[in-house]
């Protein structure tokens, strides 16, 4: 029943998007008609199953809840039930004025981590099963991380993204559809649309503004995109240490890659993906290894929330809403006639 109902909703969403010519299927994607959910799929397809496999993300329709969710309530000061927890050793507040860059793989101006200090960061959030598993592992160790959310994934699973924020983690953004912003296929307007649609979609999903923290898909940046983020006072994140977890064949491989690099470099911002199954499975042991290795977690949070652009907020609200009021009861559409 649930599957049938879900399929019906998705079909309606697809039909509506096609009928209205959804504005986000804009000119830079004119080479191909937008793909919507295959009818056999019970859940929305990810924007990219293998991050580096393709430069053309799959176009899929998403949904925003009928009502804008309430902003997460401020969390009371939590006590940690785990006496051996990794915890958080230091919280740093980032003034994002002018769009500072972090992560020595690309941005080498700001060196703020001491020896053995580590920042945990996860891209492509949110996703069922894997994101909640990462959240549980972090909660069990009473530690905090940054999550960079893809706009489309946020519209698919806003309730999971709200769990991330409610747990006190920092939620930044990662474009609308995981487009490579350094691609020659994207003009200046298309780059702006990718960034701002992502920002507004994440804000709508969360019910509150995200952090003005941004990570370029595939770590692909260029001077024009950086200059734009600078004018928007959005901090740019690369990493110091790439886990390459999307290539890992097992949780052990994720752990070994991270620990080997970390033991060599001594500190850094670690890039992982809460979207990835092996990463989710690796987290409990990886966090234990970090603790055992004497590493300390630094939690990065913004001094002020992101200022999204009203025109993108309005457009996303208008275009992403599903015509829920017009949905007929399932039993008027699907009836069992033989069993
Ligand atoms: Zn990504």
Helix (H, G, I), strand (E, B) or coil at 276: coil
Taking only the tens place, the pLDDT of each residue in 105-149 is: 889 888 899 999 999 999 999 999 999 999 999 999 999 999 999
Strand 296-302, strand 90-94: pairing:
parallel
Residue 218 alpha carbon to ligand 1 centre in Å: 6
Q: Flag whether pLDDT at 55 surpasses 50.
A: no
Rounded to whole angstroms, how far apart are CA atoms 147 and 161? 9
Instruction: Give the predicted TM-score (pTM) of the model.
Output: 0.77
Q: Which residues pair with 270 in a beta bridge?
A: 120, 241
Q: What is the mean pLDDT of residues 185-208?
A: 96
Please tell me the predicted confidence (pLDDT) of residue 2: 44
- Answer whether 118's CB lies under 8 Å from 289's CB: no
Residue 38 alpha carbon to ligand 1 centre in Å: 23
CA dihedral of residues 25, 28, 33, 39 (deg, nearest 10): -50
Residues constituting the chain: 339
Instruction: For residue 110, give the nearest of 234, 269, 251, 230 by alpha carbon.
Output: 269
Instruction: For residue 301, give the nearest of 91, 59, 156 by alpha carbon.
Output: 91
Residue 77 pLDDT class (50, 70, 90 cuts)? low
Q: Which residues pair with 83 in a beta bridge?
A: none
Residue 111 alpha carbon to ligand 1 centre in Å: 24
Residue 249 alpha carbon to ligand 1 centre in Å: 18
Residue 126 alpha carbon to ligand 1 centre in Å: 11
- Answer whether 234's CB lies under 8 Å from 306's CB: yes
Q: Which residues pair with 122 in a beta bridge?
A: 147, 272
Report CA-CA distances (Å) from 91 to 112, 145, 151, 332. Answer: 12, 11, 26, 55
Rounded to whole angstroms, how far apart are CA atoms 86 and 82? 9
Rounded to whole angstroms, how far apart are CA atoms 189 and 151? 17
- The set of residues, in sequence order, having a beta carbon less than 8 Å from that of 240 and lying 6+ positions away, is 103, 104, 105, 113, 265, 267, 268, 269, 270
Q: Among 101-105, 258-262, 270-274, 323-327, where is mean pLDDT lowest?
A: 323-327
Residue 263 alpha carbon to ligand 1 centre in Å: 25
Rounded to whole angstroms, how far apart are CA atoms 6 and 223? 42
Reduced 3-state DSSP string for 155-181 = HHCHHHHHHHHHCCCEEEECCCCCCCC
Residue 148 alpha carbon to ligand 1 centre in Å: 8
Taking only the tens place, the pLDDT of each residue in 268-309 is: 999 999 999 999 999 999 999 999 999 999 999 999 999 999
Instruction: For residue 275, give the nearest of 176, 194, 141, 157 by alpha carbon.
Output: 157
Residue 112 alpha carbon to ligand 1 centre in Å: 24
Which ranges of 167-309 would DSSP assign to H, the alpha helix? Answer: 188-206, 223-231, 251-265, 277-292
Please tell me the predicted confidence (pLDDT) of residue 176: 97
Please tell me the predicted confidence (pLDDT) of residue 21: 34
């Amino acid at each position: 029943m649930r599957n049938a109902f879900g399929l019906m909703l998705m079909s309606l969403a697809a039909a509506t998007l096609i009928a209205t010519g959804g504005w986000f299927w804009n000119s830079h994607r004119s080479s191909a008609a937008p793909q919507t959910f295959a009818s056999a799929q019970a859940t929305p397809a990810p924007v990219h199953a293998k991050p580096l496999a393709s430069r053309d993300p799959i176009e899929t329709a998403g949904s925003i809840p009928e009502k804008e969710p309430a902003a997460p309530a401020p969390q009371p000061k939590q006590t940690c039930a785990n006496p051996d927890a990794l915890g958080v050793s230091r919280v740093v507040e980032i003034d994002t004025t002018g769009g500072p860059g972090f992560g020595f793989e690309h941005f080498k101006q700001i060196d703020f981590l001491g020896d053995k200090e580590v920042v945990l960061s996860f891209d492509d959030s949110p996703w069922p099963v894997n994101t909640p598993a990462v959240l549980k592992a972090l909660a069990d160790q009473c530690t905090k991380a940054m999550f960079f959310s893809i706009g489309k994934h946020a519209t698919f699973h806003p309730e999971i993204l709200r769990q991330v924020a409610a747990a006190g983690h920092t939620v930044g953004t990662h474009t609308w559809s995981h487009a490579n912003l350094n691609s020659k296929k994207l003009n200046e307007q298309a780059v702006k649309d990718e960034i701002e649609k992502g920002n507004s979609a994440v804000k709508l999903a969360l019910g509150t503004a995200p952090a003005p923290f941004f990570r370029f898909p595939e770590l692909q940046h260029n001077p024009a995109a950086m200059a734009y983020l600078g004018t928007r006072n959005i901090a740019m994140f690369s990493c110091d240490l790439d886990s390459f977890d999307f290539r890992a064949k097992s949780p052990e491989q994720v752990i070994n890659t991270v620990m080997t690099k970390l033991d060599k470099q001594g500190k850094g911002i670690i890039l992982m993906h809460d979207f990835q199954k092996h990463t989710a499975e690796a987290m409990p042991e990886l966090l234990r290894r970090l603790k055992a290795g004497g590493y300390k977690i630094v939690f990065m949070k913004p001094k002020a929330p992101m200022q999204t652009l009203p025109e993108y907020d309005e457009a996303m609200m208008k275009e992403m809403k599903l015509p829920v009021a017009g949905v007929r009861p399932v039993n008027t559409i699907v009836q069992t006639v033989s069993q």
